[in-house]
């Protein structure tokens, strides 16, 4: 019993399939062109759509913003997703109440190591927007919107922001102090992992 083979053309870019086509008239022309040195034997212009061609979504080499964010914090992508739910749409960050409660327990209420709620929200938001290429500054209202995702509030937000060394005020906006990014990362990482941001330092003391 004879078996009729179905021929198709597959366009490859290295190991990636870009398109495929089962149009008989096209593969006949391709076979003719392969066996001939005359390029003009293919009379279908390349810039016209090919009948039956199935375009596959192109693969991108650009690193996903969330993966970059997770890498900067030195945590897994799953941890970042659970703790922050980072997005490219406002409010950009959705806080998790369990992570939030854990950080509050690990941070002192007063003293040089105390960090106000609005500062934590600002730090997370600024670090994410910087990493994702969404801008390098935010307004106080944007930070409050992030706090709203878990129903948290803060007293004297302006004073709290002014007392934070890794956040700088520029007009009506706030941005990270480039010289103290590591401190911002430490706070956000601790929030994501439900850890004490000063645990390592205390262990050395």
Smallest CA-to-CA distance from 115 within 47, 196, 182 is with: 196
Q: In which element (H, E) is residue 55 found?
A: strand 54-55
- If one compares 172 and 203, the residue with the highest pLDDT of the two is 172
Main-chain phi, psi angles of 110, to 5 degrees: -140, 165
Beta bridge partners of 139: 173
pLDDT of residue 13: 61
88-141 tens-digit pLDDT: 999 999 999 999 999 999 998 888 889 999 999 999 999 999 999 999 999 999
Does pTM top 0.85 for this prediction?
A: no
Which pLDDT value is given to residue 4? 56
More confident: 24 or 75: 75
Q: Which residue has the higher pLDDT, 37 or 137?
A: 137
From CA 81, how far away is CA 83, in angstroms rounded? 6
Residue 5: left if φ>0, alpha if ψ -120 to 50, beta else—which one? beta
pLDDT tens for 170-180 read 999 999 999 99
Give pLDDT, residue 204: 41
- Per-residue model confidence (pLDDT) at position 25: 72
The listed range with the strongest mean pLDDT (7-21, 78-92, 151-165) is 78-92
Single out the residue of 177, 159, 157 nearest to residue 167, CA to CA.
177
CA distance 94 to 106: 20
pLDDT at position 16: 59
Pairing of β 54-55 and β 138-139: unpaired
For 41-80, write each residue's pLDDT tens digit. Answer: 444 454 444 454 444 444 433 459 999 999 999 999 999 9
What is the DSSP track for 76-133?
A: -HHHHHHHH---SSTT-----HHHHHHHHHHS-SSSTT---HHHHHHHHHHHHHHHHT
């Amino acid at each position: 019993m004879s078996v009729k083979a179905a021929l198709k053309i597959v366009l490859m870019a290295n190991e990636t399939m870009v398109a495929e086509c089962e149009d008989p008239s096209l593969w006949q022309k391709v076979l003719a062109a392969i066996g001939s040195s005359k390029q003009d034997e293919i009379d279908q212009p390349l810039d016209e759509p090919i009948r039956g061609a199935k375009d596959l979504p192109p693969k991108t080499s650009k690193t996903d913003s969330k993966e970059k964010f997770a890498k900067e914090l030195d945590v897994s992508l799953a941890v970042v997703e659970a703790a922050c739910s980072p997005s490219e749409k406002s409010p950009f960050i959705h806080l998790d109440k369990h992570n939030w409660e854990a950080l509050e327990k690990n941070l002192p209420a007063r003293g040089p190591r105390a960090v106000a709620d609005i500062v934590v929200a600002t730090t997370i938001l600024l670090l994410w927007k910087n990493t994702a290429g969404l801008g390098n500054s935010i307004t106080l209202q944007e930070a409050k919107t992030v706090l709203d995702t878990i129903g948290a509030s803060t007293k004297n937000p302006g004073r709290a922001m002014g007392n934070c060394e890794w956040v700088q005020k520029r007009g009506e906006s706030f941005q990270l102090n480039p010289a103290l990014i590591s401190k911002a990362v430490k706070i956000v990482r601790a929030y994501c992992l439900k850890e004490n941001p000063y645990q390592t330092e205390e262990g050395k003391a």
